[in-house]
Structure formats: C-alpha cells, structure tokens
C-alpha cells in the first residue's frame, strides 16, 4: 500500500495526464480551414475611387468648343452632380496660338457646369505642351466612389463531397456582385449618411401650436376620399 505522499503524487500525475488529453482533443475539434465560413468574408464588397472622363478639343478655328463637345460636357456635369467627388480636372494644351482658345473653352466649360447645377469653382485646370497649333485634345476627369465584389466562378473543391455541410466557396458571390452594382451611392456601404436639414416651416408650426397650448400632432382626415370601384366591377 503506497504511502500518502506517494498517493498524492500519483493522483496529481493522473490529473495532469487527463488535462493534457483533454487539451489535445480540444485543439483538434475546432475549425482549422483557412477559408472564411461566411459569404461576405469570402466575397467582400470593396469601395474605392473610379475615374470618369471624356475628351474634347480646343480648336483655334472655332474659338471654343464644338456643340457636340458642349453636349458631352453637360452630360459629364450631371454625372458629377449625382456621384462626383472632389475636383473636375481639365488637362488643357498650351502652345503658340492655343492660349486664347483654351481660355475661351474653359470659360464655356465653367458656364456649362453652372447651368447644370455644379459649382464652377470645382474645375481645376492643368496644362501640357502641345506639339502643334491645330485642334488639341482636352481631357475632363473626375472621380467617384465605385463598389465592386468578386470575381465569381471559383470552385476550388468538389461540392458533392461536403461531410461538414458547409457552404461552398462561390456561395453568395453573385449576390454580393449584384448588391455592389445596384447600390445607388457606394458611400452608403461605408457608413450611414448624416442627418439632412430640418424642416424649418414644420418646426415653426409645431412651436406656435405648443405656445398656444394646442395639439402639435398632425391630424389626417378621410373627408372627400373615395374608394375605387374597380374591384367591384
């Protein structure tokens, strides 16, 4: 029969061995795959800047822009008004006989921007040296947020063999790509928008009723409303 100190030592050794065995089982029972389990981790939507630009021409013979160029600039201004960020960059030529026509063209461009509801001060002019005095290209560029996801169609494993019953790698990719393509403003994917301006007229009405001790709630009535007879025919 072992002495008490030896018995305690044997018990401690047994407990240590059991703990090591349990720890070993725990490390092998977890998910060890490097592939993310959730589809939005496998196919994240990324938001970045995308250039939008057109090329128009400064022609000394016309002393400004062609009507076709003015139409394209107006369309670009509407795109900028809806989704543009920062400045609109104008890359204009410089050289003999071009300074006056570039100045006239940039003035026309600012007027088109103003007419389309864009602040003309966003136009930033940069020059480059032209090789000849004929019609020279001018490029208008701005940047907007764009959302992208994918690409899809990656099948690294046989989906017929799935003992863990996990979603396959390509699962959710098309949904992410469709969401990125359909979102109106990709900035909404980065965070919530700020509060818009308050309705000053409604606020004044509520405050006036409050001072008079009247009910400030809006009252809706169905007086004069008619039910459609289409369903009864």
Q: pLDDT tens digits for 142-192?
A: 999 999 998 898 888 888 888 888 888 889 999 999 999 998 888 888 888
Dump strand ranges (E) for 95-171. 123-129, 136-148
Domain membership of residue 85 (yes or no) is yes
Q: Which residues are CB-contacts of 39 (< 8 A; sequence separation ≥ 6)?
A: 167, 171, 172, 173, 175, 176
Domain membership of residue 88 (yes or no) is yes
62: domain CATH number is 3.30.1330.60
**pLDDT score recorded for residue 211:** 92
Domain membership of residue 140 (yes or no) is yes
Q: Answer whether 0.85 is exceeded by the pTM.
A: no
Range of weakest confidence among 26-35, 51-60, 80-89, 215-224: 26-35
Determine the Cα–Cα distance for residues 222 and 230; give it in Å rounded to an integer.
Answer: 19
Domain membership of residue 122 (yes or no) is yes
Picking from 187, 191, 179, 188, the residue whose alpha carbon sits closest to that of residue 49 is 187
Determine the structural domain holding residue 143 and report its residue range.
Answer: 46-148
Determine the Cα–Cα distance for residues 16 and 19; give it in Å rounded to an integer.
Answer: 5
Domain membership of residue 114 (yes or no) is yes
CB 92 within 8 A of CB 127: yes
- Work out how many domains the chain is built from and give that number: 1
Q: What angle do CA 68, 69, 73 make, to 5 degrees?
A: 120
Domain membership of residue 83 (yes or no) is yes
Domain membership of residue 38 (yes or no) is no
């Amino acid at each position: 029969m072992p002495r008490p100190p030896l018995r305690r030592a044997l018990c401690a050794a047994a407990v240590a061995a059991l703990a090591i065995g349990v720890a070993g089982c725990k490390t092998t029972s977890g998910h060890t795959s490097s592939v993310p389990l959730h589809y939005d981790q496998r196919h994240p939507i990324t938001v970045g800047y995308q250039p939008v630009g057109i090329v128009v021409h400064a022609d000394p013979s016309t002393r400004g822009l062609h009507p076709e160029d003015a139409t394209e600039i107006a369309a670009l201004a509407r795109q900028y008004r809806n989704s543009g960020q920062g400045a609109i960059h104008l890359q204009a030529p410089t050289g003999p006989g071009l300074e006056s026509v570039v100045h006239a063209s940039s003035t026309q461009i600012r007027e088109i921007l103003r007419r389309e509801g864009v602040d003309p001060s966003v136009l930033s002019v940069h020059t480059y040296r032209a090789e000849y005095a004929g019609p020279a290209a001018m490029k208008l560029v701005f940047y907007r947020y764009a959302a992208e996801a994918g690409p899809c169609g990656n099948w690294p494993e046989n989906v017929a063999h799935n003992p863990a019953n996990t979603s396959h790698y390509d699962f959710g990719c098309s949904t992410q790509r469709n969401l990125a393509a359909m979102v109106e403003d990709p900035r909404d994917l980065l965070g919530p928008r700020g509060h818009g301006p308050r309705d000053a007229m409604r606020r004044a009405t509520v405050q006036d009723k409050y001072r008079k001790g009247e009910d400030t709630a809006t009252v809706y009535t169905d007086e004069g409303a008619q039910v459609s007879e289409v369903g009864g025919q």
